[in-house]
Amino acid sequence: MEKIRCLIIGGGPAGYTAAVYASRSSLAPVLYEGMEPGGQLTTTTVVENYPGFKDGVDANELMNQMRAQAQRFGADIRRGTVTKADLSQRPFQITVDGEHEIEAETLIIATGATAKYLGLPSETRFRGAGVSACATCDGFFYRRKDVAVVGGGDSACEEATYLAGLCNKVYMIVRRDVFRASKAMQERVFATPNIEILWNCNTQEVLGDDTGVTGVRLVRKNGEVFDIKVDGFFLGIGHHPNAELFATWVQTDENGYIVTEGKTTKTNVEGVFAAGDVQDPKYRQAITAAASGCRAALDAERFLLEKKNQ
């Protein structure tokens, strides 16, 4: 059984930043990166809104730099997926890849969230070449062009209004004849002249060629099939927080996001902290995730200090 003072789960901006701070605080952190080192950010190309990079930075490069920065201070970063967690008492019992047993004094959950996709082969084909699940990350590449957003919830409405400020025209593809979004968000959409809502429509196929996305084939509820011309296809059908493994012990909200206490990263389980998108349905940015990773490491350090002084 391996004993660890600070175990960080998740290799995205939140996890790596937590590892930078925890290693500089001599917590000897161990970080497991999981199946997707670098996290959601690596599904995009250039990151232009991360402060400190005047000309933008390649997403993978940014993540590699964060990882290397944590390693420079001694963070032990490992490939591996946590497959079991027992948080019923401290130290917490964690199993990695079904076999490696760990006892962790503190735990930082930074497992992120996964954007939902429709599951169409054409959507997979053009991922990163016109298909995106993040308007804030990629919208800039579609300035003065026509794009489509799928979904009728707050995320889709937020994406559509954001894109409307950059793009020539935004189509919203909504599968019912009503929005799920809050009234305020709906009103923002209705008040934006360059958003056209295509009610009762489902996406049949994302169309494209070697240059990327060129359009979308839609099917209306009455069976009518038609195409629209767009350069970008944005998913706004929700995210799935990766919190199931911990949900028996850690409180989650109605959408599965881990609940943290006030401005801290404390969960309802003493010694367990949550950072990044797994606890943030609202902002979901690399910079906000990194900031909460910093807070989680500081919270873990203070927690261990308090325990020592008790």
Q: Which of residues 51-110 bind ligand NDP (CB under 6 A)?
A: none
The answer to whether 233 touches 150, Cβ cutoff 8 Å, is: yes
Instruction: Classify residue 248 by burial, with Cβ atoms within 10 Å: 0-12, 13-18, 19+.
Output: exposed
Helices (H), the chain: 13-24, 59-72, 121-125, 135-138, 154-164, 183-190, 286-309
The residue from 138, 146, 231, 277 that is catalytic is 138
Among residues 55, 76, 86, 134, the one annotated as catalytic is 134
Give yes or no: 137 in active site. yes
Could you tell me the smallest distance in angstroms from the CB atom of residue 41 to ligand NDP?
18
Cis peptide bond N-terminal to 51, omega within 30 = no
138 carries an active-site annotation: yes
Binds ligand NDP (CB under 6 A): choice among 123, 154, 231, 301: 154
Window of 29-37, 86-94, 135-143, 235-243 that interacts with ligand NDP by CB under 6 A: 235-243
Query: Which of 6, 137, 167, 201 is the catalytic position?
Result: 137
- CA distances for 251 relative to 35, 88, 94, 244, 302, angstroms: 24, 13, 18, 11, 22
Note whether 282 binds ligand NDP by CB under 6 A: yes
Contact between 112 and ligand NDP by CB under 6 A: the answer reads: no
Q: Which residue is nearest to ligand NDP (CB)?
A: 153
CA gap 203, 216 in Å, rounded: 7
Pattern 178-207, ligand NDP, x by CB under 6 A = --x---------------------------
Report d(CA 13, CA 78) in Å as an integer: 15
Q: Any idea which residues carry the catalytic annotation? A: 134, 137-138
**Binding stretches for ligand NDP (CB under 6 A):** 118, 150-156, 158, 175-176, 180, 237-239, 255, 281-282
